[in-house]
Structure 1
Amino acid sequence: MGELFQKASRLTLLAHSTLARIPDWTYASLMRVAVFFVFFLSARTKVDGFMTLKSSTFYLFQHEYALPLIPSAWAAYMATYAEHLFSVLVLVGLATRLSALALLAMTLVIQIFVYPEAYVVHMSWAAMLLYLVSKGGGLLSADTAIARTLGQSK
């Protein structure tokens, strides 16, 4: 039993040291792609053609989503345009922190007012978005390229 424990312990240490060598920008890049697909594909279900909102989008915002304090038509336009804009910005890593924060706010609204039972999905979105708010878009982002161009890199 002791030998099995030692082998498992060595394997755990090997896995830890191997995974610790993966650079942070890898995680940021993967999260940016994942966040993009979640929100951009959601946005595309709300429109016909380029950016014409579907009648079903207005119906959903009026009857199923029914957000308080804001007219449903406004909410439909704002959410659809925000999902398109901020998901693309996150993907390219431009204004990553601000864009991720906007999508995090949208996630919180969805969690609190629309689908509170879907907290597991929303927590996974929030975890990725909080990472991006905290760490930024990483090495392979427009933010980093701009910072380097302006001589402000770390």
Structure 2
Amino acid sequence: MEKRSKIIISFLFLGAFIFAGVYGMKSVFAYGNGTDFHNQMAQKFSQRFNLNQAEVESFLNDSFQERQKERQTYQENRLNQLVLDGKITQEQKEAILKKREEMMNEREAMANLSWEERKTEREKHQNEMKSWAKENGIDLNEIMPITGKGFGRGMGMEHYNR
């Protein structure tokens, strides 16, 4: 059971890696496509602090893009280290980056789905990712967690790194 749990957790982390890079904030907002939330936040900040809404929107957009670049840099550095450590090959690294780019191109479709549809798509995605990793000879136990350890205590995660 422990080995199965580690495999499942590894796949979840791979999914988290791709979702973090691909869907960003959009997957968080079940009621809209993210733009609505962005505009509402800018409006609330501008009203609350008596600021120009266009400047607040620009600031939020710049901050989001900066954070997105930081995540991408971290992920690429992590993959480079895995190649140097011999845990993955350069070809596997390229396959991971290609898959990430592929997922980024599909993010808009997910943003407009209902909660139930997103759940179905996530399950489908998880199965596809398992097959994809196997086809590419990627041992998920070696590359996870690619995006960092996160909070690391939810859903039994305290046992993950033991």
Larger Rg: 1
Q: Give the TM-score of the pair, scaled to structure 2.
A: 0.28
Using CA pairs below 8 Å that are at least 6 residues apart, which structure has the higher relative contact order?
2
